[in-house]
Amino acid sequence: MGVPAGAAAYLDAATAAPLHPVAAEALVAALADGWADPSRLYAASRRAQQLSEAARAAFAEALGVRVDEVSLWSSGTQAAQAAVLGGLAGRRRQGDTLVHSAIEHSAVLHAAAKGQAIEVGVDQLGRLDLEAWDAAVRTTGVALASLISASHEVGTVQPVAAAAGYCAEAGVPLHVDAAQSIGRHPVPPGWSMLSASAHKWGGPPGVGVLVVRKGVRWISPYPQDDLYRPGATGALDLPAVVGAAAGLRAVLTEERAEAERLSALVDRIRERVAATVPDVEVVGDPDDRLPHLVTFSCLYVDGEALLHALDREGFAVSSGSSCTASTLRPSHVLEAMGVLSHGNVRVSLHRGTTSEEVERFLSVLPGVIEKIRKEAGM
């Protein structure tokens, strides 16, 4: 691969955001005591327990919920799947069917594939079809609904409040997968369960958070001691949990200012890509969107070739094109929206992203695309 042509710019925060300095500091500090198992009856264990309790309290405060509603998991995927599978198990008597949008994260779709499911479509901007959602949650045998707070691939914010309203009318609990929103964009209330992932907000990888509100019936889908209390089945990475909690607190104090700054950079990308690259489709809602994420598709461009070419220029981005996926299928999100899936690039920004990096990306991109098209004879 060689040395990138310019200073490296990491533009894939939606996959994993760089560690927030406050998270890093807390993680390192917690290594001294966080190695011990917090459930034993000796002094080292009590110190670990104190760390664990402080972290849980910080999560509860940051998310505006009770401490005993917070559970911790080994990843955002695990937390989302625990929500779906545990939520379904808890409502077995009411039914066995999950309602979900067509643009959920694969974590939720994989859990959905374990049983009965009704999928609800989206429009071309990637926004949930609320009328179809209303009809779906009122279907006999529906036990649970799951909705992503905002699309992880195109950034479109979902009508969570309205969807939660329909769920409440139908008496169906709602799980919101808020992995892309927490620390970036407010999530409206009305949900029964909410899951998130620390490395999306600048916490360490390997920490997932699940909130199960009081009164929501949840039964563990995994073999463990207390089947009614959500929590990871094995030992947690406690230093990472402490780092994640500290990181979230720091991120929330910066949330509004960062959202404003990054959203202006995303506006700039949306405008300039559309103006300087021919035959390009900038997808997702231009206004009602996550502040830090933008996606576009370029006609006649191989997504894998584009990612490699951008990597050589020093840019880390991701793609929903099939040639870049382990499954070799195009992104189910782009398919559900009916927008072009090849030549797809997702750019997602973070607190370290500078205006200069975005400017350099925008100046390099048109030439990179032109070259790939020329090679394909276009």
* Beta bridge mates, 348: 12, 293
Q: Does 329 bind another protein (CB under 8 A)?
A: yes
Which stretch, 66-74, 127-135, 325-333, 350-358, contacts another protein (CB under 8 A)?
325-333
Contacts with another protein, 249-288, as mask; x by CB under 8 A: ------------------------------x-x-------
Q: What is the CA radius of gyration of the chain?
A: 21
Residue 328 interacts with another protein (CB under 8 A)? yes
Place of tokens 């394909």: 376
- The mark string for 138-177 relative to another protein (x by CB under 8 A, - otherwise) is ----------------------------------------
Question: Under the criterion CB under 8 A, does residue 326 sit at the interface with another protein?
Answer: no
- E strand or H helix at 38: none
Q: Binding to another protein by residue 378, rule CB under 8 A?
A: yes
d(C-alpha 32, C-alpha 37), whole Å: 13
Out of 181, 341, 348, 353, the residue judged to bind another protein by CB under 8 A = 341
Ordered DSSP codes for 94-161: T-SEEEEETT--HHHHHHHTTSEEEEE-B-TTS-B-HHHHHHHHTSTTEEEEEEESB-TTT-BBP-HH
| Nearer Cβ to another protein (200/332) | 332
* Catalytic residue annotation: 323
**Stretch 348-377: interaction string toward another protein, x if CB under 8 A:** ----------------------------xx
**The binder of another protein chosen from 194, 301, 349, 362 (CB under 8 A):** 301
Which stretch in 34-42, 239-247, 259-267, 335-343 sits in contact with another protein by CB under 8 A? 335-343
Considering the complex, what minimum distance in angstroms separates the CB of residue 323 from another protein?
A: 6
Q: Which of 268, 292, 245 is nearest to 151 (CA)?
A: 292
Figure out which of the listed residues 187, 248, 340, 369 binds another protein, where binding follows CB under 8 A: 340
Q: Residue 333 corresponds to which tokens in the numbers above?
A: 């999100």
Q: Which stretch binds another protein (CB under 8 A): 55-63, 160-168, 196-204, 323-331?
A: 323-331
**324 DSSP 8-state letter:** G
Q: In this chain, which of 119, 254, 255, 335 binds another protein, going by CB under 8 A? A: 335
Q: How far is the CB of 314 from another protein (least distance, A)?
A: 25
Q: Which of 130, 274, 299, 316 binds another protein (CB under 8 A)?
A: 299
**Those residues with Cβ within 8 angstroms of residue 350's Cβ, 6 or more apart along the chain or in another chain:** 10, 13, 17, 18, 202, 262, 292
Number of residues that bind another protein (CB under 8 A): 25
User: Among 300, 355, 363, 367, which residue sits at the site for another protein (rule: CB under 8 A)?
Assistant: 300
Q: What are the CA-CA distances from residue 375 to residues 304, 369, 370, 372 (Å)?
A: 14, 10, 9, 5
SS3 302: coil
167 to 226, contacts with another protein by CB under 8 A?
none
Residue 293 has, within 13 A of its CA and on its CB side, a CA count of 28
* Least distance from another protein to the Cβ atom of residue 342, Å: 4
Which of 74, 220, 322, 353 touches another protein by CB under 8 A? 322
Question: Apex CA 225: angle with CA 221 and CA 227, to 5°?
Answer: 40
DSSP assignments along 53-89, one per residue: HHHHHHHHHHHTS-GGGEEEESSHHHHHHHHHHHHHH
Place of tokens 């405060």: 61
Whether residue 168 contacts residue 34, with contact meaning beta carbons closer than 8 Å, is answered with no
CA neighbor of 14 nearest in space, from 266, 343, 367, 366:
266
CB 224 within 8 A of CB 218: no
Residue 122 interacts with another protein (CB under 8 A): yes or no: no
By the criterion CB under 8 A, which residues form the site for another protein? 279, 281, 297, 299-303, 321-323, 328-330, 334-335, 338-343, 376-378
